[in-house]
Amino acid sequence: DAGVIQSPRHEVTEMGQEVTLRCKPISGHDYLFWYRQTMMRGLELLIYFNNNVPIDDSGMPEDRFSAKMPNASFSTLKIQPSEPRDSAVYFCASNPGLAGIREQFFGPGTRLTVL
Amino acid sequence: QKEVEQNSGPLSVPEGAIASLNCTYSDRGSQSFFWYRQYSGKSPELIMSIYSNGDKEDGRFTAQLNKASQYVSLLIRDSQPSDSATYLCAVRGGNKLTFGTGTQLKVEL
């Protein structure tokens, strides 16, 4: 299996622009998680999906952030409009959802820089 | 108070020594605990999980859990330069993981 795939790997944009981050989870995994990592706040959960349905979005910082999962193999995280404080590494992770498997498998991340 | 707390380090140990990494958590009802390793510029990868009080050993790694004290630790024996990384403690609540900010470990030659 190719693992969790994220694109783009790096994104540089200007304040006010729309940013879309993409994720393809591991095939067969029922759970998908979006995290944000910064030096100051560490790794924070933004939102997670189960069977394509958003379950908990309490970590989404504000209305500028939105996430969708239109099917089992694709999810997006959108920031509109972007701000410099959104600069961070965004990780997507997936989990098979089986009781005996608790590990989350992380993608390589997208490094976002908002100028 | 943060839900999962770790000393940010850096923790420096000489090659061959034992590295001890510590983590405390606030939710007394937590049942599952994880240690992830993250190399600079890379994504976190799971190295240990522990669910019961006591010790769990896997090769050079030992995870220790004390639920009464709400304390989790990771011991790395015979530390190698390749162990130099940031170690993230994670606590599971429901289907969510809450991570600490990580401890940076440096293993010196």
User: Residue B23: which of B99, B89, B87, B109 has the closest Cα?
Assistant: B89
Please give, rounded to a whole number of angstroms, the shortest distance from the CA of B9 to a CA of chain A. Answer: 13
Position A12 pLDDT exceeds 80: yes
Interface test with B, best of A5, A104, A105, A111 (most B CBs within 10 A): A104
pLDDT for res A97:
75
Both tokens of A103, joined, read 């590990």
User: What span, in angstroms and rounded, lies between the C-alpha atoms of B9 and B12?
Assistant: 8
Query: In this structure, are residues A58 and A112 in contact, taking their beta carbons and an 8 Å threshold?
Result: no
pLDDT for res B48:
92
Q: Which residues of A touch B46 (CB under 8 A)?
A: 103-104
Query: Which among A56, A97, A109 is the nearest to B96, CB-wise?
Result: A56
Say if B12 is an interface residue toward chain A (CB within 8 Å): no
pLDDT for res B8:
86
Query: In this structure, are residues A8 and A108 in contact, taking their beta carbons and an 8 Å threshold?
Result: no
pLDDT for res A101:
57
Position A112 pLDDT exceeds 70: yes
pLDDT for res A96:
86
Query: In this structure, are residues B24 and B91 in contact, taking their beta carbons and an 8 Å threshold?
Result: no
Query: Which among B34, B43, B49 is the nearest to A106, CB-wise?
Result: B43
**DSSP one-letter string for A69-112:** EEETTEEEEEESS--GGG-EEEEEEEE---TT--PPEE---EEE
User: What span, in angstroms and rounded, lies between the C-alpha atoms of B68 and B7?
Assistant: 20
Lowest mean pLDDT among A41-50, A76-85, A93-102, B41-50: A93-102
Phi first, then psi, for residue B86 (nearest 5°) are -100, 135
pLDDT digit string, tens, across residues A45-55: 999 999 999 99
Interface test with B, best of A37, A39, A46, A48 (most B CBs within 10 A): A37
Say if A15 is an interface residue toward chain B (CB within 8 Å): no
3-state helix, strand, coil split of chain B in percent (to 5) is 5, 55, 40
